[in-house]
């Protein structure tokens, strides 16, 4: 079987390659991709060659081929249909749609343990958001929002809106999505969250989730915290090293910055929940059609090299950009 795959090349370029797909072995399945998604932040850094050398191993996608910053097949938001399974492998996934942390490839073989069934009432395009919503689930486990909390989410991209979309289910005293881009206001309205410019955000927050990947956003997040408040830092900065304002009242008000990263299940749940549990929770949350407003595009796979460059260089507004591999 032949398939197409998208490769990032040095110098901010991309290309479509054709390659053979083998048969699944024991414990494996053949998946034919329906749609995949471009995670704008991380994949832009990969496209532009801005992943720092010291963290390239940590930033490897689960099924990445090649090594950064050279030629690499990268990506981790893919939804497809299982069309075959290997010998001595249960066939319960045959004919089912599944989510996998796989690059932009038409068809692939993967261990069945990496495939999560997509609920019947979650459309394929919305299901590509599972990786982002899984990241948001982990962040909420890290931050531990409580009844009556006053919370701000700084940064209205794919991750920030995913966090806000989950938080709106909580019995909070206040929830604001802060971003200087007025376009975010419309997305916030669709998910039922109040939008404000960061300069107008209400202070005294118990908890702030920061996902803007800017030094200004991090500084404002600290300002928004009430005494002994906490910032959950979700941003990925690539080769940029932001200045963190730890002077003024950071120590006097006993503020905290907590790192949140999806590579490991949050410490608060690690003894009781697996990564598979976390992914299943994320896909279940995606039964909510409000998440459709995080999707941009679509673009056909053959057109992805040009589209990726437009996304990475800011010529195309994107949140999670949908890539079509075949008609749904």
For 112-117, the CB contacts below 8 A with 24+ separation are 112/27, 112/28, 112/29, 112/85, 113/27, 113/276, 114/62, 114/63, 115/29, 115/31, 115/82, 116/276, 116/279, 116/280, 116/283, 117/93, 117/283
Q: State residue 28's pLDDT score.
A: 98
Residue 112's pLDDT band, with cuts at 50, 70 and 90, is very high
**What are 40-82's pLDDT values in tens digits?**
888 998 999 988 888 788 788 999 999 988 899 999 999 999 9
Give the closest residue to 319 by CA, choosing from 164, 157, 78: 157
**What are 137-193's pLDDT values in tens digits?**
999 999 999 999 999 999 999 999 999 999 999 999 999 999 999 989 999 999 999
Domains, the chain: 2-129+286-324 (3.90.180.10), 135-259 (3.40.50.720)
Q: Between β-strands 72-73 and 13-20, what pairing exists: parallel, antiparallel or unpaired?
A: unpaired
- Residues 101-124, mean pLDDT to the nearest whole number: 96
Q: State residue 70's pLDDT score.
A: 86
């Amino acid at each position: 079987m032949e398939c197409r795959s998208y490769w990032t090349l040095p110098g901010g370029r991309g290309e479509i390659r054709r390659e053979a797909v083998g048969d699944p072995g024991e414990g494996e399945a053949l998946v034919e991709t329906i749609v995949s998604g471009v995670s704008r932040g991380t994949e832009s850094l990969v496209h532009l060659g801005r992943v720092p050398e010291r963290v390239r191993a940590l930033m490897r996608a689960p099924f990445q081929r090649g090594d950064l910053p050279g030629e690499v097949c990268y990506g981790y938001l893919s939804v497809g249909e299982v069309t075959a399974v290997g010998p001595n492998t249960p066939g319960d996934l045959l004919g089912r749609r599944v989510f996998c942390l796989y690059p932009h490839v038409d068809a692939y073989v993967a261990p069945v343990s990496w495939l999560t069934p997509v609920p019947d009432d979650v459309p394929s395009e919305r299901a590509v958001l599972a990786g982002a919503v899984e990241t948001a689930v982990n962040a909420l486990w890290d931050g531990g929002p409580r009844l009556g909390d006053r919370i701000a989410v700084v940064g209205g991209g794919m991750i920030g809106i995913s966090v806000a979309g989950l938080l709106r289910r909580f019995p909070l005293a206040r929830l604001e999505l802060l971003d200087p881009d007025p376009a975010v206001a419309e997305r916030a309205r669709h998910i039922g969250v109040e939008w404000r410019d960061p300069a107008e955000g209400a202070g005294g927050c118990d908890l702030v989730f920061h996902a803007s990947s800017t030094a200004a956003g991090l500084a404002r997040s600290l300002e928004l915290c009430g005494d002994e408040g906490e910032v959950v830092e979700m941003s990925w900065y690539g080769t940029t090293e932001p200045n963190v304002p730890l002077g003024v009242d950071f120590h006097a008000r006993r503020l905290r910055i907590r790192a949140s990263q999806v590579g490991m299940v949050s410490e608060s749940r690690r003894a009781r929940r697996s990564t598979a549990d976390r992914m299943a929770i994320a896909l279940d949350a995606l039964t909510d059609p409000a998440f459709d407003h995080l999707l941009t595009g679509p673009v056909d796979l053959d057109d992805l090299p040009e589209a990726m460059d437009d996304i990475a260089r800011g010529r195309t507004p994107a949140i999670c950009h949908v890539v079509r591999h075949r008609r749904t």
